[in-house]
Amino acid sequence: MKITTARRLTQIFFFTLFVWLCLAATVGPLWWQWRGWPIAWFLQLDPLVALGTVLTTHSFHPSLAWALVTIGLTILFGRVFCGFVCPFGALHQFVSWLGRLGGRPKDKMAANTYRPAQVIKYYVLLALLAAAAGNLLLTLVRASRDSTWIALVVAAVAVLALFWLTLRKVIASFRRAVLFGALLVLVWFGAAALLSVERLTLATLQIGWLDPIPLVYRSFNLVVLPATDLAVEKWFPSGRFYTGVGLIGALFVALVLLNLVVPRFFCRILCPLGALLGVIGRGTLWSIGKTGAKCTECALCDVDCEGACNPMGPIRVSECLMCMNCLDNCPSVRPIAYLPRPSSGGEISASGVTRRGFVATLIAGAAAVPLARLDGSTKSDWSPSLIRPPGSVAEEEFLARCLKCGECMRVCPTNVLQPSGFAHGWESVWTPVLNNRIGTSGCQLNCIACGHACPTAAIRPLTLDEKQGAGDFTEHGPVRIGLAYVDRGRCLPWAMERPCIVCEENCPVTPKAIYVSEIESTVRDGTFAIASIDGATVRVSGTPLTPGRFASGDYTCKLPDETRSRRIVANTADSLTLDTAPTAEEPPPPGALLEVQVRLQRPVIDPARCIGCGVCEHECPMTGLRAIRVTADNETRSANRSILLKGSR
C-alpha cells in the first residue's frame, strides 16, 4: 500500500471523527449523543492550546496532555499532524485539489512553489504567544526579586537565549556581544526595580482567532452545523441561534475559498499552529529528503507539494506538511524518500523571520494587552452584561484560558450560551456569554455540561453538588452567575397594574429567589354605580364593561360598606358575578358605588437566593426589553462583585 493512500484514509478518518464529535456534542446518553465521546479531543491534541495556556497560567492542565503526543510525533516524524490529522488541513487540501482538478502541471508547480509570504504565520504565532506571555514575565520578575538565585538563573537563561536567537548574528565580536548581554541584564533588573511591572505585564489568550483547531471547532459548532440543520431539520428541534455568526462564518468561508487563490493558503501563510509545529519539527528525526540516488531534476515532486517546501531543491523542512505526494510523483528509482537523516539535496531551516521582525512582533504582541486593558474593562468598568457560564474562573484568568472554540455553546442544551461580540471588548470576542433572550430557556439548574466540555477549565468542570451548593459544598452555597433585578418601570404588575407573576413561577431555585409583595388596587375607571343586586350578580350602570375582562380570578369587587372584597367569577357588559352573594342585611341602594380591584403580586428578588440563571428573564412576557433581567453582579467567581456580606447569606 502506498503511504499517500494511508494518508488519505487517515485524513478522511480524522475529518469524519471531527464532524462526528461536533455532531455528538448533544448532552444525552443516546447513540448519537455525547455519551463519553471525547468531544474536545482535537483541541486537547493541539500543542498551541497547551503552550498558550501554559504561558498564560503557568500551569499545565491535565486534559491537555494529549498535546504531548502531538509534540512527540512532530519531533520524531515532522508535521504529520498537519498532513494526516488536522481536520481543517484536510478540508483545505480537499478544496485546493477540487479547485485545480485538470489543471496543467506547470500551473500547479507554480502554485506550489515556496512564497516569501509563508513567513507571515511565524509572525502570527509570535504575536499571539507574546500576548500570552506577559504573566510569565511578571512571574520571572517577581521570582527574581524574591531570590538572587532565581534572578541569576533567569538572567543566564535570558542571556543565552538572546545570544542564541539574535546576538551571535547581530554582533560579530564575541566581546561586544557579552557586553551587550550584560547591558540587557542590567536593563532587566533596572526595569524590575523601577517600573510598575505588575500593571504592564498582562496576558491574554487570543490564539483562538487563528489557531486552526479552535477555529474549525467554532466554525462547525456555531455555523456549519446550525446552517446544515436548516436543511436537514434533524439535530436541533428548536433551531440553533448564535449572535454574530456572520463574522465567524465569513472568516471560515473566506479561509476556505482562499485555497482557490493559493493552495492551502491558510496552512502555508496564516496557520500559527503550523508555524509552531514547524519550529518544533525543525530538527525532525525522519523527514522528506533526497537520498543521493540519481535524480533527473524533473521537478515532478514539486508539482503536488502541499506545503510548498520545494522537495527538489534544498527542502524547507519546517514547511513540509508530510503529504508524501512527492514520493508518489517521483518517476525515478528512489531519489527522494522519507529518511532519518538530512536531505542530500540540502535543507533550509530558516523560517524567514528577520531579527527586527522578531523583536518588533514580540513587543507589539506583549504591549497590545496592557494597551487594550487601558479601557478598564477588566477593572472597574467590567461589563455587567457579560454573564459567564457557571464555573467560569475570574475574568482575567478566564481570558487567560478561553480558546473561543465554542464547545460550551455547542453543548449548552438551551442555546443560552452565546459567542460574545465586540461589545465586551476585543479580548472577549467569541468567548461564551449568556444571552437569556436567545434559546429555549436560561441556564438549567441541573446541567453541568459547559464545564465538562471546556478543555482548558476556563469553565471549571463542576459537580452538580458544587453547582447547587449541596453536599460537601453546602458551606460555599450555589454557584451564582449573576443576579436578576426587576425593572419596575416595565414590569406588568409594578408599572401597569396587570397581574403577571411568570418570573416567580419559573424561578427554579428552592426556596424561590423571587417572592411576591401583594397589594389590591382599584383598576383604572374601576368605580361603577350599582343598578341592582340579585344573589351573587351585581348589575352596574354606566360605561359598558368588556365581557370577561374581570373573569380571570385576579379581580375582586368591593361593595360599599363591606370590608372584604369578593372575587369576580364572570362579567358581562353590565353585570359582575361574584363568588359569594352579598349578605348585608340591607342591600346597598341603587346608585351606590362599587370598586373593581385587582390583586397584584409584584415580584421581589432575594439576592441571597438568586443564582442568576436567567430563566425568569427568558420567560418574562415583555419580549422586547425584559422587565426582569440578569446582570453579572454578585457572581461567585469574582469576590469583588458580591453585593452581600458573606455572613449574611
Partner 1 sequence: MIPPHQSPLDPAANRREFLRRGLQAGAAVALTGGLASLLWNRHPPGDFNREAASALLPDFSDKNAGPKMAIVTGQNRTAMVRRALEAMGGISRFIKRGDRVMLKVNAAFATPAILSATTHPELAAELVRLCLGAGAASVLVTDNPINDPESCFNLTGIGPAVRAAGAELVLPRAAQFAPGTLPGARLIRDWPILHEPFRGITKLIGVAPVKQHNRAGASMTMKNWYGLLGGRRNQFHQDINGIIVELAMLVRPTFVVLDGTASMMANGPTGGSLADLKPTQTLVVSTDGIAADAFGATLLDKTFRDLPYIAGATERGLGTADFASLNPVRAAV
Partner 2 sequence: MASFSTGRRPSARETAAASGVLVALLAIAAWLWSVQAHFSPAVTVAASAALAAESGRKSVAAPANLIATWPAGLRAMGPMESFSPDTLSDKIDGKAELYLSAGFVAMRCQRITSAAASDAWFEASIYDMGQPENAFSVYSSQKRTATQEAGIGDYGYRAGNQICLVHGQYYLELVAADDREPTLQSAAELARTFIAATAVARHANMAKDEALFPSDGMIAGSVMLLSADVFGFDQLNNTYTARYREGKDDATLFLSRRASPAEAAQLATALCDFFVKDCGGKETVAPTTPRGAVIIDSGGAFDGVFVSGALLGGVHQAASRDAAERWIQRLHARLPTPTP
Residues that bind partner 1 (CB under 8 A): 50, 54, 57-62, 65, 68, 71-72, 75-76, 196, 198-199, 280, 283-285, 290-292, 314, 340-350, 391, 393-394, 397, 401, 457-458, 460, 466, 473, 476, 637, 639-640, 642-648
Residue 640 binds partner 2 (CB under 8 A):
no
Neighbouring-strand partners of residue 290: 336
Given 162, 227, 445, 569, the residue binding partner 2 (CB under 8 A): 445
Given 449, 458, 507, 596, the residue binding partner 2 (CB under 8 A): 449
CB atoms within 10 A of CB 492: 19
3-state DSSP assignment of residue 603 = strand
Residue 6 binds partner 2 (CB under 8 A):
yes
**Closest CB to partner 1 among 264 and 401?**
401
Minimum CB separation of residue 541 from partner 2 in Å reads: 22
**Contacts of 124 by beta carbon, 8 Å cutoff, 6+ apart:** 210, 270, 271, 272, 275
Neighbouring-strand partners of residue 595: 527, 558
**Contacts of 140 by beta carbon, 8 Å cutoff, 6+ apart:** 154
Minimum CB separation of residue 50 from partner 1 in Å reads: 8
Minimum CB separation of residue 562 from partner 2 in Å reads: 6
Grid cell digits, residue 113: 512553489
Given 76, 250, 470, 573, the residue binding partner 2 (CB under 8 A): 470
Minimum CB separation of residue 93 from partner 2 in Å reads: 8
Query: Is residue 108 a contact partner of residue 304, using CB atoms and an 8 Å limit?
Result: yes
Site string for partner 2, 323-342 (x = CB under 8 A): --x-xxxxx--x---x----
**Closest CB to partner 2 among 294 and 524?**
294
Residue 7 binds partner 2 (CB under 8 A):
yes
Q: 141 exposed, middle or buried (CB, 10 Å; 0-12, 13-18, 19+)?
A: buried
Site string for partner 2, 34-63 (x = CB under 8 A): xxxxx-------------------------
Query: Is residue 217 a contact partner of residue 454, using CB atoms and an 8 Å limit?
Result: no
Q: Could you tell which of partner 1, partner 2, none binds residue 340, using a CB distance below 5 to 8 A set by kind?
A: partner 1
Minimum CB separation of residue 404 from partner 1 in Å reads: 17
Give the Cα separation of 456 and 398 in Å (integer).
Answer: 10
Residue 28 binds partner 2 (CB under 8 A):
yes
From 33-41, 213-221, 373-381, 420-428, span contacting partner 2 (CB under 8 A): 33-41
From 27-35, 370-378, 549-557, 611-619, span contacting partner 2 (CB under 8 A): 27-35
Q: Could you tell which of partner 2, partner 1, none binds residue 148, using a CB distance below 5 to 8 A set by kind?
A: none
Residue 175 binds partner 2 (CB under 8 A):
no
Given 27, 247, 523, 536, the residue binding partner 2 (CB under 8 A): 27
**Closest CB to partner 1 among 10 and 642?**
642
Residue 606 binds partner 2 (CB under 8 A):
yes
Strand 336-339 relative to strand 287-290, pairing: antiparallel
Neighbouring-strand partners of residue 287: 339
The residue to which cell 533567569 is assigned: 154
Site string for partner 2, 607-626 (x = CB under 8 A): -xx-----------------
Crossing angle of the two packed helices 66-77 and 47-57, in degrees rounded to 10: 120
Q: Could you tell which of partner 1, partner 2, none binds residue 640, using a CB distance below 5 to 8 A set by kind?
A: partner 1
Minimum CB separation of residue 381 from partner 1 in Å reads: 14
- How many CA atoms, within 13 angstroms, populate the side-chain half-sphere of residue 90? 21
The secondary structure of residue 496, as a DSSP letter, is: I
Whole-angstrom CA distances from 566 to 272, 520, 541, 560, 600 are 74, 12, 19, 12, 15
Long-range contacts of 106-113 (CB under 8 A, 24+ apart): 108/303, 108/304, 109/299, 109/302, 109/303, 111/262, 111/263, 112/263, 112/302, 112/303, 112/304, 112/305, 112/306, 112/308, 113/302, 113/308, 113/310
**Closest CB to partner 2 among 21 and 403?**
21
Residues 94-113 within binding reach of partner 2 (CB under 8 A) = 97, 105
Q: Could you tell which of partner 2, partner 1, none binds residue 345, using a CB distance below 5 to 8 A set by kind?
A: partner 1
Q: Could you tell which of partner 2, partner 1, none binds residue 546, using a CB distance below 5 to 8 A set by kind?
A: none
Grid cell digits, residue 220: 462547525
Given 451, 482, 493, 614, the residue binding partner 2 (CB under 8 A): 451
Q: Could you tell which of partner 1, partner 2, none binds residue 291, using a CB distance below 5 to 8 A set by kind?
A: partner 1
Q: 8 exposed, middle or buried (CB, 10 Å; 0-12, 13-18, 19+)?
A: middle
Minimum CB separation of residue 167 from partner 2 in Å reads: 42
Q: Could you tell which of partner 2, partner 1, none binds residue 488, using a CB distance below 5 to 8 A set by kind?
A: none
CB atoms within 10 A of CB 611: 29
Give the Cα separation of 589 and 1 in Å (integer).
Answer: 106
Given 543, 586, 591, 624, the residue binding partner 2 (CB under 8 A): 586
Q: Could you tell which of partner 2, partner 1, none binds residue 514, using a CB distance below 5 to 8 A set by kind?
A: none
Minimum CB separation of residue 341 from partner 2 in Å reads: 15
Site string for partner 2, 122-161 (x = CB under 8 A): ----------------------------------------
Minimum CB separation of residue 94 from partner 2 in Å reads: 10
Give the Cα separation of 205 and 26 in Å (integer).
Answer: 27
CB atoms within 10 A of CB 275: 26
Long-range contacts of 372-380 (CB under 8 A, 24+ apart): 372/204, 372/425, 372/426, 372/427, 373/202, 375/425, 377/424, 377/425, 377/427
* Binding footprint of partner 2, residue count (CB under 8 A): 77
Query: Which residues in 114-124 are b (16+ Cβ under 10 Å) and which e?
Result: beeebbbbbbb
